[in-house]
A and B are shown apart, each in its own frame.
Chain A
Amino acid sequence: MTLILTALAATVTIVFRFAKQKTAEKLRLGLLALMYSGAALMWTVDGFAAMFAGEPFVELQNPSVVADDAFLGICVLFLGAAIWAVGLIFKKATKKAV
């Protein structure tokens, strides 16, 4: 579920990055898209590793695991957004200082 949410977030940010270029440039959405993409790729490898170990690629059978993973996925998205926001504020602050 974490992989699904991160991949979805990566897709949305990539589409937005290319569809609304001026806004994306102002908001540095490329950075967010790259961060989510990197994490989604890494979890894809994790999924394959689980598959080779005899587990499902993405656990969707056990509701408690799905709920836990979904909550983790949301926290991951928030962390990504927080890192991006801090980067954005820092960049703006340094620009103003110069």
Chain B
Amino acid sequence: MACFVVPAAEAVVVAIVKKRADKAAKLQAEALACGGANAQTNTEQKARTKTHSGEKISISKKLGWLNAMLWGGTALLFLEHVWHGEVVFWPPFLTAAANPADTAAMLYEIATSGVAMAVLVTLVWAGMAIAADNISWVKAALCKQKEGANQ
């Protein structure tokens, strides 16, 4: 009925957290750059070594994956809800919100299916993030991509 609302809300939160992580990383890079030529060279060298060995992928990039999964899933589920007439483009937008009995069922679905969707996507993302750092061929593939993007 409106289960995609929960993943959408999580996507908004993740987008904000990602923005903050991006900003923090940028500030850190700037601070390191201001620390002198030697410090910069060391940082560059460290970053290059990290990329080659594929030690870790930044949290910002990982949050980007979660964001894509949540926004993508929400957009596609939104289409499904429009298709089935559960979402309309005029108030109250959710057809179930028109009468109290349907509203109760909708809220129950949001609380059960919606939350389960958000939890499942987050768990799979956590698994992906762990795999990206620990499974060699995944690490290698993602680092290759990273190096390509840096060039």
Distance of A48 Cα from B3 Cα, bound (Å)? 13
Q: B64-75 toward A: CB 8 Å interface, digit per residue (1/0)?
A: 010011111111
Cβ-based interface call for B98 (8 A): no
Which B residue's beta carbon lies closest to that of A50? B113
Contacts of B79 in A (CB 8 A): 72, 75-76, 79
What sequence of 0s and 1s flags, for each residue 60-86 of chain B, a beta carbon within 8 Å of any chain A beta carbon? 000001001111111111011001000
Say if the beta carbon of B120 comes within 8 Å of chain A.
yes
Chain A, interface SS category: helix
CB neighbours (8 Å) of B120 from chain A are: 41-42, 44-45
Find the B residue at minimum CB distance from A68.
Answer: B83
- Residues of chain A at the chain B interface (Cβ within 8 Å): 2, 6, 18, 21-22, 24-25, 30-31, 34-39, 41-46, 48-49, 72, 75-76, 79-80, 83
Name A42's contact: one of B77, B141, B148 (CB within 8 Å): B77
